[in-house]
């Protein structure tokens, strides 16, 4: 593992994670605006979007580098969590980091690592698809 591969995984996976999160949060906001129900379970929706974002970010980060998928996926998840923690600390200075925060953080690290492993295993399929598309003949 060299720093260049880590940065490549962070670039590709971080971009995917944050774009997916932005789209998911926009969808939740639209759902909240359209729904006439007064009760919306926002925490469950936000955590689902965050887990999916980290999983897809780890998948894309591992596919970008091609080695050590669990590590690159975990690094993407750690980067995502760091940004989320900093934003949370700036927006809500009195917010506490309790046991639920640690459990969800460990779950996100696991989701990123699993996404990285899946990304490594999908990489040969991506190469075959590219060869079929561009190297016909």
Is the pLDDT at 70 greater than 60, yes or no?
Answer: yes
pLDDT tens per residue across span 7-65: 888 888 888 899 999 999 999 888 888 887 766 677 888 899 999 999 999 999 888 87
pLDDT tens per residue across span 95-127: 888 898 899 999 999 999 999 999 888 877 766
Q: Which residues of 40-73 are buried (b: 16+ CB within 10 A; e: fewer)?
A: eeeeebeeebbbbbbbbbbbbbbbbbbebbbbbb
Q: What is the pLDDT of residue 136?
A: 63
Q: What is the pLDDT of residue 107?
A: 94
Q: What is the pLDDT of residue 3?
A: 80
Output the CA–CA distances (angstroms, integers) from residue 39 to 8, 33, 42, in the order listed. 42, 12, 9
3-state secondary structure at position 8:
helix
**What DSSP line would sit under 40-105, residue for residue?**
--HHHHHHHHHHHHHHHHHHHHHHHH-S-HHHHHHHHHHHHHHHHHHHHHHH-TT----HHHHHHH
Q: Pick 6 or 117 by higher pLDDT.
A: 117
């Amino acid at each position: 593992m060299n720093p260049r591969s880590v940065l490549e995984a962070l670039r590709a996976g971080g971009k995917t994670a944050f774009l997916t999160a932005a789209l998911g949060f926009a969808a939740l906001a639209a759902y909240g605006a359209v729904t006439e129900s007064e009760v919306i379970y926002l925490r469950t929706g936000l955590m689902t979007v965050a887990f999916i974002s980290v999983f897809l970010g780890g998948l894309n980060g591992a596919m970008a580098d091609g080695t050590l998928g669990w590590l690159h996926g975990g690094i993407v998840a750690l980067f995502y969590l760091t940004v989320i923690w900093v934003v949370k600390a700036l927006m809500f200075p009195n917010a506490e980091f309790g046991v639920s925060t640690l459990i969800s953080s460990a779950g996100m690290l696991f989701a990123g690592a699993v996404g990285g492993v899946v990304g490594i295993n999908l990489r040969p399929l991506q190469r075959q698809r590219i060869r079929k598309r561009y190297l016909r003949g």
